[in-house]
Structure 1
């Protein structure tokens, strides 16, 4: 396969897809595929690595894996980005105009940011610094930022101070995501993140989970909450039929998002 004559941004998008598909790729092979010099590929890979879309390795690049991305929000924002956007498109319809909503620091929930102006909640509660910055640009939406110890790897505030602040608040709806679901429970690998999600969930009358099907049967050390305690789940249509049947048995409101790639 050869892909020639693309402008830089388009070439980098295609280069990212190529490496994600092949998992690893050498500079020389990429130069041949895209019909450019090795120096151009080196520059492209440096840009993509700085954006967190690929990982630089000696002589080439490799795809960002879920395990690696869990450690760095910059990487997580690019992992399954298309799926996250489509899930957010569906979840945004659950935001009632004039409501008070709480949003966690997950990159999936973070994709609700661009929808806030059109959905017009009265107030947003969040511990995500990225979402705080997004909400701050909308003067018609009040912002309640939960502060505490800042963690660059999640771009958010976590820990006991955040938990204490959340315990004094009430929201009409709370939107969360997590890294894994197993045995009909939300799991997370980080203790402070799990506690913060629990506290945020307790602020909401309506609990809404946004998650892609790849998170099912994953692993996580700390329990967040059982699925049966949620009111709604937004998930992609690729969920296995037997897992969908399990969700239906919990009598949740299930919202299926079409995450198939668009032509």
Structure 2
């Protein structure tokens, strides 16, 4: 039986041969993450491409901060570092994050009071916020504070507390106390993991802060790229059913989309990169 006939599949059950380059690299990153380390030969055989193609893919994935090169193959970046360090996360899936952010920004009504969390996906909304003309922006992200401050027509309210350089934001009970004194028309949130109908995060302080800002807004919008579905997270944030809208990628698998539809969420699809 030939390789084509075998139809090699990943552990997620998705055929991984014959994929276009971007999709192959995404699947390759997941392949390595699931195994912690992987050899060049195993990757080439699984994906039905040459060793040189795998070398080029790994070069790009390393540049994007998704993998680390090792002798003869690649290894996954330790989960906690990949999820916490903002310098790394801003470069991961940057094209997808930008498309999700642009689509999400289109949901901001003119004159609205907007709350933005500290995720790098929501952070990408900073370049589109002025065009939507909100009256006020609340945020605990230091990066977003800098972006919004460039537009004096928008009132900026920074939520301060203990600063964490790993996330470039303020987190914890001091921020939560401030959040409980405000009200917003719409909040935009993302997180590291969506599983079993809920949002999860690996950090307790971040989970607490996200939960607080979600609760103060009348309309709740979630941004989620495909990699967040069925990922792992330690601390429960909120159930998915509390959201009104979710912004997802065009290639979100049908089973995930069907679950979102059953929850009654309005699904907004970002264009393909």
- What is the Cα deviation at residue 69 of structure 1? 2.1
CA root-mean-square deviation: 2.9
Provide the residue aligned with 2:108 in structure 1. Answer: 95
Match of 1:236 among 249, 258, 261: 249
1:113 & 1:60 partners in 2: Cα distance? Answer: 40
1:119-156 C-alpha deviation (Å, 9 max, x unpaired) = 11110000000000111110000000000000000000
Contact 2:66 2:77 in 1 (8 A): no
- What is the Cα deviation at residue 257 of structure 1? 1.1
Q: Secondary structure, in 3 states, of the residue corresponding to 1:172?
A: strand
Query: Which 4+ residue blocks in structure 1 deviate beyond 6 angstroms?
Result: 20-24, 54-64
1:243 & 1:57 partners in 2: Cα distance? Answer: 31
Match of 1:107 among 112, 120, 123: 120
Match of 1:194 among 199, 207, 210: 207
Contact 1:54 1:61 in 2 (8 A): no
Equivalent positions of 1:113-124 (< 5 A) are 113-124=126-137
Provide the residue aligned with 2:172 in structure 1. Answer: 159
Provide the residue aligned with 2:147 in structure 1. Answer: 134
2:184 & 2:74 partners in 1: Cα distance? Answer: 42
TM-score by length of 1: 0.77
2:217 & 2:250 partners in 1: Cα distance? Answer: 26
Query: Residues 137 and 237 (structure 1 numbering): CA distance in 2 closer, same or farther, change over 3 Å?
Result: same
1:214 & 1:21 partners in 2: Cα distance? Answer: 12
Q: How many residues align?
A: 225
Q: Secondary structure, in 3 states, of the residue corresponding to 2:118?
A: coil
1:72-95 C-alpha deviation (Å, 9 max, x unpaired) = 100000000000001011111101
Where do 5+ consecutive residues of structure 1 fail to align?
1-16, 25-32, 34-44
Contact 2:117 2:140 in 1 (8 A): yes
2:78 & 2:266 partners in 1: Cα distance? Answer: 28
Provide the residue aligned with 1:74 in structure 2. Answer: 87
- What is the Cα deviation at residue 116 of structure 1? 1.0
- What is the Cα deviation at residue 162 of structure 1? 0.1
Match of 1:211 among 224, 236, 258: 224
Q: Secondary structure, in 3 states, of the residue corresponding to 1:70?
A: helix
1:248 has 2:261 as partner: yes
Query: Residues 137 and 87 (structure 1 numbering): CA distance in 2 closer, same or farther, change over 3 Å?
Result: same
1:147 & 1:112 partners in 2: Cα distance? Answer: 20
Match of 1:226 among 214, 225, 239: 239
Contact 1:55 1:61 in 2 (8 A): no
Contact 1:64 1:79 in 2 (8 A): no
Provide the residue aligned with 2:15 in structure 1. Answer: none
1:248 & 1:66 partners in 2: Cα distance? Answer: 33
TM-score by length of 2: 0.74
